[in-house]
């Protein structure tokens, strides 16, 4: 079964460990896991979300290069590059997080919203600047004409 993966940036301030890094339990007892930079959601052919996890930059690069192992039974990416939990799964329906919720929480979505907000502020500031510029030009014209009138009047006297 082939799954389609959708990768979203992790929301700012969301500290999660990578679910796909290779863990070497023999190396040392107090190991540190890589911090996840992206959230990854797997969808089946019907479009149902069947897996949600976190992935770091290194594992994401391996996934994009096709170097990350998949489970032969269920088609999911192998957790910690060693195994899959498909034997623990049952056929009961679950309540997956909707794709809209994932997108709303994602960092890139927040950036897009902030960009739109800043673009609105920029256009409002440009309009305000145009109005102030027109006022300045009118003031300058009035000042010039007033200076001309005064200079004409001073020559006449």
The pLDDT tens digits for 147-156 are 888 877 666 5
Look up the domain containing 139 and give its range.
115-157
pLDDT given at position 122: 94
Same domain, 96 and 20: yes
Distance CA 59, CA 72 (A): 19
**Contact at 8 Å (CB) between 47 and 13?**
no
Beta bridge partners of 43: 4, 49
Taking only the tens place, the pLDDT of each residue in 71-129 is 877 777 887 776 777 766 655 555 566 777 666 666 666 777 788 899 999 999 999 99
Same domain, 24 and 72: yes
**Contact at 8 Å (CB) between 8 and 38?**
yes
Same domain, 133 and 73: no
155 Cβ neighbours under 8 A, 6+ residues apart: none
Same domain, 15 and 71: yes
Same domain, 96 and 124: no
């Amino acid at each position: 079964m082939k799954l389609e993966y959708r990768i979203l940036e992790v929301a700012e301030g969301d500290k999660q460990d990578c679910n796909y890094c290779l863990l070497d339990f023999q190396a040392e007892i107090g190991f540190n896991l890589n911090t996840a930079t992206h959230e990854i959601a797997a969808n089946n052919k019907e479009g149902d979300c069947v897996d949600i996890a976190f992935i770091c930059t290194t594992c994401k690069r391996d996934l994009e290069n096709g170097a990350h192992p998949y489970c032969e039974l269920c088609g999911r990416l192998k957790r910690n590059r060693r195994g899959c939990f498909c034997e623990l799964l049952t056929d009961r329906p679950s309540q997956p997080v909707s794709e809209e919720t994932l997108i709303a929480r994602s960092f890139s979505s927040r950036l897009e919203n902030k960009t739109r907000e800043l673009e609105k502020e920029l256009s409002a500031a440009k309009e305000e600047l145009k109005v102030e510029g027109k006022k300045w030009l009118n003031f300058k014209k009035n000042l010039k004409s007033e200076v001309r009138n005064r200079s004409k009047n001073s020559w006449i006297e």
